[in-house]
Every structure is written in structure tokens, then in C-alpha cells.
Structure 1
Amino acid sequence: MAGLGLVDLVDDTTYRVNVITAHMVAVPSSLDGMLHFSTEPVWAAAFLMKQLRDTNFKYPFQENKTPTQYGYKLIGEERFANQHTYSIMHSQGRMPSFSRFMEGKFGKFGTMPDRVKSLGYDLDSVMNGKADDIVVVDIGGGRGEMLLEVKAAYPHLKKENLVLQEFQPDRVNEDDLTIQHWDFKDDSPETVKGALVYSLTHIYHNLSDLEALRLMKKVADAMAPHSTMLIHEFAKNSTYGKMHATMITLYAGRIRSSREWKQLAALAGLEVTFEAYPVAGEGLVEMRKLPTANGAV
């Protein structure tokens, strides 16, 4: 478990718990998280060098052709050789555990409103929509935990102001949120036009650059001049090096730097208008529509 960062080495035979271990005890969902962070990544890592050697070091990976799928191919499990990692987990009955892990916000540092304000972001000025405005669209927002945090901080917001979009939406919070099905991986566009905020929490890090750009362009096409895209991701630094490697080997995704976010934004017709990359905890990147030379958007 030392290799996973759960304990600190004292000497050759002695370890002590650290803050990550303490967090696991405090947050029950972390046990489900450790199940996945000590199974899927270890499996993929075992076949990483084998795949690179066999493919003459072909990289970057495609999302259904990572070391995860390559390992299953080598052991003769052809049914998993071309499936997305999430589909494999679903087929093996591990998605309920993964969903509990995600719901518990393992690794989150405070509520969304408090966290972004601590980074110097003026969320109050963004949440200035009228009663009939769609204020926040949370794309891939699970069961809507983040939107409920927003609603608690801004109690004037109603169900109609808060839209949760998911591929397989769980309607447990449908009394408080507007819940929609959206599979952003297919060819369908973002149907909510002109919302104040389009929020994506730990979505882009699961996607390759091409898939991330494809999603970003869909959201950009739906944005109005007053709209913002808020991206909640960990920073690309030594703290999250293991997570970066995990995203690569499981999904062909990646954690991105300021330069990489700005490159994606420019290709999607957006510009980065706020960014914060804390050493530990979720960072924030805000994007807005890129003005044209005559001032239009």
C-alpha cells in the first residue's frame, strides 16, 4: 500500500499512516475508491510496457486501445479487448462500487462554492441569472451532488435553474434538479442553449485530446456571450502524477496544464479567462466565447 501513497515510510520495516489514510477513514466511499485505484490501474500498468513494445511505442493511446484492453486481449478475453474501461467495469459488476466512490467525493476539498471562492473566483457575480434563466448545467454530474451544493449556497435557485445531464441519469434528486439524459459521446449536440454556467467536474481528464476537444466544441456551440464554462480538474503537477498516469492507461485521458487548456480552448473558439492550479485539491479553469475582431462573439 506504500506504493499507492497510503502510508509513509519510517524505515525499512516500519510505516505510519498519513493524511490520505486519515481521509479514507473519514470518508466511507474512499474504501470503494481504493478498490478501484488498486485494481484497474495495477492491471493496466502490468501491460503498459508490453503494449508499447509490441506496437513500436505507438502513443498516444486510443480510448478503447489502452493497456487495459491490451491486457485482456493477451489473456484471451476478447469480449473486453475493444470495450471502454467503464464498459468493462460494468460488465464485471464493479460500477455500483465505483458510483459510491464518486458520490462520496473522495479527493474533494470542500463544497464547490466554497472551494472556487477560496481560489479567488468571484462565483457570486456569475450566479446573477434571473429566475427564468438556466443558471448551471452540470455535464456528467452523477446524481447531482455538486448542484445541490450550489443550491444550498444560493437558495433562490429553483429546480428549473439547475440542470443535471448524465448518460444514465439517476433521478434520486429530481425534486430539486432538472434531470436530462445526454450522451456527449454520440453525435447529439448540447441542447441547453445560453446557460450562465456549463460545469464539468473530472470529465475532461477521462478523455483524449481529440475527444476532449469534441466535447468542448459542443458546449462552446451552445454558449452565449454571457456564458461561462467551468472546468474542475486537478492540476498537472507532481502531487497528481499517479492520477495522470492512471488516466492515460485506463482511458487514454490526461491531466492538463495551463498551456494545454489554452490550446484546446482556442481550437474550440474559447479563451481561458480564469485559472487556478493548487498543489493539492481541485483547480479551476474558466472559459468564455472568444470575441471576434469586430467585438462580436
Structure 2
Amino acid sequence: MAGLGLVDLVDDTTYSGNAITAHMVAVPSALDEPVWAAAFLMRQLRDTNFEYPFQENKTPTQYGYKLIGEEKFVNEHTYSIMHMQGRMPSFSRFMEGKFGKFGTMPDRVKSFGYDLDCVLNSNASDIAVVDIGGGRGEMLLEVKEAYPHLRKENLVLQDFEPDTANAEDLTIQHWDFKDKSAQPYKGALVYSLTHIYHNLSDIEALKLMKKVADAMEPHSRMLIHEFAKNSTYGKMHATMITLYAGRIRSSREWKEMAALVGLEVTFEAYPIGGEGLVEMRKSPLANGTT
């Protein structure tokens, strides 16, 4: 078949290394993973009698490696596979700015009518913002610029492998929310999560949400920055499913999850494009009041 170049044709029952898979290993790219997972999506569904939802280590990503005999990747999380293959530097570069800029965090949430000034000018806690999974801390630096009274000790960057590039301006802390450890900072004004929950299955998302909820006080807010579940981000939704068993969630789903961990949704905005905002706070029943 003319025009296929170096691609080796394989039939429906043959899964072996070819020019495409060799290129994916030799030339790491953050975009390779969605292409890989999509190639094995229907095969996994068919072979498992359309078992769904996926488990986070049993997505089409791992299923593809199972079919080609790469056993060392079969039970690994997609992030672990990327790390083992040397893809994480490329992925980290891709993730800088979290899928592009839609304005600074303070300006963006204010454009929705959210009163961030009231929250961050409160003296209810010395910790203003804990940014969970915040990478290099770009969002916290935007907050610092908008609210210059906030000092290093008021702004906490948490990550599994935190980048220390901005250590002079931010408090840097390792926190692996996937292990059994509790959220180390109690009673912060804001716990912020930007594009974190969409990487997680419902079970894993609830585990994280419960850890944050347990650390919250009545004055605390959890601010969730995620794309809306709409036609604009259909491809993103599908990508999260096939890579991580995660997904983009709707207003109804956020409210159901909040109720399970003693929180309630107290503000929400779902723009057509760019990150929306969901605020959760302790529910009155969780606070012991009626």
C-alpha cells in the first residue's frame, strides 16, 4: 500500500514493535501517550466485554503494553511508565502553564464574580494558599503579585517532586497525596487544585478530596480549577479516561463527590473555554450545626 512509508503493517491479531512504536520510544513526546492509548481502547473494551470504568493502572495504556509483551509496564501507572521511558521532561514542559494561559488565576476567578479579595485578606489563618500539585508554583506567584502582603510563609507549594525554582518566594513541601499521609497544613484559607482531579478516577479523587476536607476548617475553601464538561473539551475528557481512568466532571458530579466527604459546592463557574472554578466548603452538618 503506497504512501505508508516506514510503517510496518500488522493484522488484527499481531501486536509487535514497528516503526511507530519504535519512534515513540526513541523520540519522547508528551503527545505520544494519548495516541498510544487510543490505539488500544477498542481492543481492551472488546476483550473485557466492555468492562468500564477503567482502573487507573488498567487503562488502554497498560493494555497496549500487555499485548506487545512489555510486561514491566503492565501494572504501572501511566506516569510511572512515562518516567521509566524518559518521557517526563517532555511532559513537564508540556504542562508548564497548565494547558495554556487563560489569564492569571486572580483575574480569571474574579471575572466569574468570585470574591477572592475577601478570602485572601482574611486573618483567619496564617496560611493563605496551599497549591496541591502546583508544579513550579506559577499560580502562587500570580497570587503573590496580586496580593503583595502575602509572604513566603503564607504561600505553600505542594507536589510529589516539587520544583524548587521559586523557593525564595514560596514555601516548598513534598506531599504524596497518593500515600497514606494526611494533608500536612490544617486550616488554610485556600486549598487550590489545578487540573489535578481530572487525572484521577472517582475513587482516587474522593480519597484526595477527603484528605483535604479533613484538613479544612469552616473558614477554609477548596478551589478546583478544571475545564468544564462540555463539547469543547470532549477530547480532553477522552484522553483522561484512556490514560489515567480519570475524567472531566459536571456540576452534578462535583456536588455528589463533595457530599460524600462532608463538603458542599458554594460557588461554581463553567466557561465554554478555559478553566472553570468550583469552590467547596465544609457543609453545615459537617461543622456540627443545622
Q: TM-score range by the shorter chain?
A: 0.7 to 0.9
1:163-186 residue CA offsets vs partner (Å, 9 max, x unmatched): 011101111111100111100000
1:118-176 residue CA offsets vs partner (Å, 9 max, x unmatched): 11111111112339710000000001110000000000000000001110111111110
Cα distance between partner residues in 1 of 2:61 and 2:112: 36
* Residue identity opposite 1:121 in structure 2: Y
Which residue does the alignment assign to 1:36? 30
Structure 1's 88 and 156: CA in aligned 2 closer, same or farther, altered over 3 A? same
Which residue does the alignment assign to 2:235? 242
| Structure 2 unaligned residues grouped into runs of 5+ | 1-27
Which residue does the alignment assign to 1:257? 250
Which residue does the alignment assign to 2:139? 146
* Residue identity opposite 1:65 in structure 2: K
Aligned residue among 168, 184, 187 for 2:180: 187
Within 5 Å, give how 1:185-224 maps onto structure 2.
185-224=178-217
* Residue identity opposite 1:198 in structure 2: Y
Aligned to 1:192, the other structure's residue is in SS state coil
Cα distance between partner residues in 2 of 1:125 and 1:223: 18
Q: Is the 8 A contact 1:108 1:282 kept in 2?
A: no
Aligned to 2:284, the other structure's residue is in SS state coil
Q: Is the 8 A contact 1:271 1:289 kept in 2?
A: yes
Within 5 Å, give how 1:38-57 maps onto structure 2.
39-57=32-50
1:233-289 residue CA offsets vs partner (Å, 9 max, x unmatched): 000000000000000000000000000000000001000000000001100000000
Within 5 Å, give how 1:273-284 maps onto structure 2.
273-284=266-277
Which residue does the alignment assign to 1:266? 259
Aligned to 1:172, the other structure's residue is in SS state coil
* Residue identity opposite 2:241 in structure 1: I
Which residue does the alignment assign to 2:115? 122
Aligned residue among 199, 211, 220 for 1:227: 220
State whether structure 2 residue 161 is matched by structure 1 residue 168. Answer: yes
Q: Is the 8 A contact 1:166 1:183 kept in 2?
A: yes
Structure 1's 294 and 252: CA in aligned 2 closer, same or farther, altered over 3 A? closer
Structure 1's 234 and 186: CA in aligned 2 closer, same or farther, altered over 3 A? same
* Residue identity opposite 1:217 in structure 2: K
Q: Please report how far the alpha carbon of residue 74 of structure 1 lies from its aligned counterpart in structure 2 after TM superposition.
A: 0.3
Structure 1's 237 and 133: CA in aligned 2 closer, same or farther, altered over 3 A? same
Which residue does the alignment assign to 1:78? 71
TM-score, with length taken from structure 1: 0.86
Structure 1's 213 and 114: CA in aligned 2 closer, same or farther, altered over 3 A? same
Cα distance between partner residues in 1 of 2:245 and 2:127: 33
Q: Is the 8 A contact 2:227 2:233 kept in 1?
A: yes
What is the number of equivalent residue pairs in this alignment?
263
* Residue identity opposite 2:218 in structure 1: P
Report the aligned-residue RMSD.
1.6
Structure 1's 293 and 113: CA in aligned 2 closer, same or farther, altered over 3 A? closer
Structure 1's 173 and 292: CA in aligned 2 closer, same or farther, altered over 3 A? same
Identity %: 83
Q: Please report how far the alpha carbon of residue 35 of structure 1 lies from its aligned counterpart in structure 2 after TM superposition.
A: 4.0
Q: Give the structure with the larger strand fraction.
A: 1
Cα distance between partner residues in 2 of 1:82 and 1:136: 35
* Residue identity opposite 2:42 in structure 1: M
Which residue does the alignment assign to 2:278? 285
| Structure 1 unaligned residues grouped into runs of 5+ | 1-33
Q: Is the 8 A contact 1:236 1:244 kept in 2?
A: yes
Q: Please report how far the alpha carbon of residue 293 of structure 1 lies from its aligned counterpart in structure 2 after TM superposition.
A: 8.6
Structure 1's 76 and 293: CA in aligned 2 closer, same or farther, altered over 3 A? closer
Structure 1's 70 and 124: CA in aligned 2 closer, same or farther, altered over 3 A? same
1:42-96 residue CA offsets vs partner (Å, 9 max, x unmatched): 1101100110111111100000000000000100001111111111111111111
TM-score, with length taken from structure 2: 0.88
